[in-house]
Amino acid sequence: MSDSPAPLADPHIAFDPAEGRRDIVVLGSTGSIGTQAIDLVLRNPDRFRVTALSAAGGRAGLLAEQAYRLRVRTVAVAREDAVPALRDALKEAYGSEPMPEILAGPDAATQLAASDCHTVLNGITGSIGLAPTLAALEAGRTLALANKESLIVGGPLVKAVAKPGQIIPVDSEHAALFQALAAGTRADVRKLVVTASGGPFRGRTRAELANVTREDALAHPTWAMGPVITVNSATLVNKGLEVIEAHLLYDIPFERIEVVVHPQSYVHSMVEFTDGSTLAQATPPDMRGPIAIGLGWPERVPDAAPAFDWSTASTWEFFPLDTEAFPSVGLARHVGELGGTAPAVFNAANEECVDAFLAGRLPFTGIMDTVTEVVAEHGTPAPGTSLTVADVLEAETWARARAQELAAKAAGTTAEVRA
């Protein structure tokens, strides 16, 4: 067990359900999580009001449309060169009506995260979400966290500033654990069981994975997600990251966190208690349910997502994880136990390798081979060393550069073999 006084995500923390409509800041509003969160807000105007939005800046028209429909006070973009297009899109959407304030630059989302609101939904993808996470926590906001990289790369930093129960997870797996954990005390928990769909390559051997294509990897059988997350689901890196995240959120040792393959993606995760009972949280695959938990807890949001049709027969299957074909979960456990900057190195190297695979510069099996080599070269962090944001950034920069070097070397070797 870690030395934190209480889990970061704790469903037993008392929230006031009679506090009226909640003001929400949505970070990453034009992405998958952000657009679904906005759909939920627009269907529940008596419960939620969005006061500010942030996005990278590549979808100015959508961001302006969101701002107008929600009548937000502030809109932020990470790319300063996106401001002219955003301003034009806002003028078209608002006409003669007053437009919202525009913030721009790499710190714009962080500034919004500390603004006056009840809840910050961090739906940013990647480790750039760490600074906004820290800002929201330091400002005392409830953090609905979909940006798992915040915990992966900066776990000790997040734990140092977060109050017990201040984080409500939005990942489907961690939202499931969050809800199931409400049924018992911390001392009652024997094991956390994180489910994985198995991705598009479930049942294949490592040899059969050598020549899979970009299109193969992006054909996820149950979830519609962005390309990076979809590839992470194909390699099961996503599941490895979730194991680290579960350890940090719920303060459960790694040896008591298990991964099991569940192809239907109906059961999102389970908690096994000391009396032998297991509670599973199940819904059809739809992220609006976890988002509703993140924004509304401890109240449920009626009709947030579809429910099962129990009049229709269905089969739910569970299989053990093939650790030889998918070594990512074991490597994630290893870097999680190492701590320090090791998880940041793992995450950054993986992001670079996924980019190389999507660009056709690295074979599918080369993703984990390269990440494993980068992690090994990074070595073991010095014991007792405190972690800083600068440490994380330095480790990420090194890991990205080294992963790029190794991927380029692998591509050259492959080209020579083909020649």
Task: Quickly count: other Cβ atoms within 10 Å of residue 84's Cβ.
Answer: 10
Confidence of residue 218 (pLDDT cuts 50, 70, 90): confident
Q: Which of 209-213, 368-372, 408-412 has the lowest mean pLDDT?
A: 408-412
We find that the CATH architecture of domain 176-418 is Orthogonal Bundle (1.10)
Cα separation, 103 vs 80, in Å, equals 9
CATH of domain 22-175: 3.40.50.720
Q: What is the pLDDT of residue 224?
A: 67
Q: What is the pLDDT of residue 14?
A: 62
Boundaries of every domain in the chain: 22-175, 176-418
220 is in an annotated binding site: yes
239 is in an annotated binding site: yes
Q: What is the pLDDT of residue 38?
A: 98
CA atoms within 13 A on the CB side of 5: 7
pLDDT digits (tens, 9 = 90+) for 289-312: 999 999 999 999 999 999 999 999
226 is in an annotated binding site: yes
176-418 shares the fold of 22-175? no
289 is in an annotated binding site: no
Q: Does 382 have pLDDT greater than 80?
A: no
367 is in an annotated binding site: no
Q: Does 415 have pLDDT greater than 90?
A: no
Q: What is the pLDDT of residue 419?
A: 44
Q: Does 334 have pLDDT greater than 60?
A: yes
149 is in an annotated binding site: yes
Mean pLDDT, range 381-402, rounded to an integer = 87
Question: Of all residues in the chain, what percent carry a pLDDT higher than 70?
Answer: 94
377 is in an annotated binding site: no
Mean pLDDT, range 178-199, rounded to an integer = 94
Identify the bridge partners of residue 49 per DSSP, sorted by sequence position: 23
Q: Does 22 have pLDDT greater than 80?
A: yes
Residue with tokens 């059988």: 221
For residues 299-329, one letter each, b for 16 or more C-beta atoms within 10 angstroms of the residue's C-beta and e for the rest, the string is: eebeebbeeeeeeeeeeeeeeebbeebbbbb
233 is in an annotated binding site: yes
Mean pLDDT, range 206-232, rounded to an integer = 84
142 is in an annotated binding site: no
Q: Does 94 have pLDDT greater than 50?
A: yes
Q: Which of 110-114, 173-177, 261-265, 408-412 has the lowest mean pLDDT?
A: 408-412
Cα separation, 405 vs 377, in Å, equals 13
Q: Does 4 have pLDDT greater than 60?
A: no
Confidence of residue 3 (pLDDT cuts 50, 70, 90): very low
Mean pLDDT, range 245-267, rounded to an integer = 95
Q: What is the pLDDT of residue 141?
A: 97
126 is in an annotated binding site: no
222 is in an annotated binding site: no
242 is in an annotated binding site: yes
pLDDT digits (tens, 9 = 90+) for 47-71: 999 999 999 999 999 999 999 999 9
Q: What is the 3-state secondary structure (H, E, C) of the chain?
A: CCCCCCCCCCCCCCCCCCCCCEEEEEECCCCHHHHHHHHHHHHCCCCEEEEEEEECCCCHHHHHHHHHHHCCCEEEECCHHHHHHHHHHHHHHHCCCCCCEEEECCCHHHHHHCCCCCEEEECCCCHHHHHHHHHHHHCCCEEEECCCHHHHHHHHHHHHHCCCCCEEECCHHHHHHHHHHCCCCHHHEEEEEEEECCHHHCCCCHHHHCCCCHHHHCCCCCCCCCHHHHHHHHHCHHHHHHHHHHHHHHCCCHHHEEEEECCCCCEEEEEEECCCCEEEEECCCCCHHHHHHHHHCCCCCCCCCCCCCCCCCCCCCCEECCCCCCCHHHHHHHHHHHCCCHHHHHHHHHHHHHHHHHCCCCCHHHHHHHHHHHHHHHCCCCCCCCCCHHHHHHHHHHHHHHHHHHHHHHHHHHHHHHC
Residue with tokens 């009972």: 277
Question: Of all residues in the chain, what percent carry a pLDDT higher than 90?
Answer: 81
Single pTM value for the model:
0.91
Give the distance from CA 419 to its chain's centroid: 40
Q: Does 331 have pLDDT greater than 50?
A: yes
197 is in an annotated binding site: yes
Q: Does 385 have pLDDT greater than 80?
A: no
56 is in an annotated binding site: yes
- How much is the mean pLDDT over the chain? 92
Q: Does 77 have pLDDT greater than 90?
A: yes
Which residues contact residue 236 at a Cβ distance below 8 angstroms, ignoring those fewer than 6 apart?
196, 198, 199, 321, 326, 328, 329
Q: What is the pLDDT of residue 379?
A: 86
Q: What is the pLDDT of residue 18?
A: 57
Q: Confirm if 174 and 406 have CB atoms less than 8 A apart.
A: no
171 is in an annotated binding site: yes
Q: What is the pLDDT of residue 414?
A: 56
Give the distance from CA 51 to its chain's centroid: 23
Backbone angles phi, psi at 88, to 5 degrees: -65, -40
Strand order of the β-sheet with 142-145 is: 101-104, 74-77, 48-55, 22-27, 119-122, 142-145, 167-169
Q: Which of 102-116, 178-192, 202-216, 243-257 has the lowest mean pLDDT?
A: 202-216
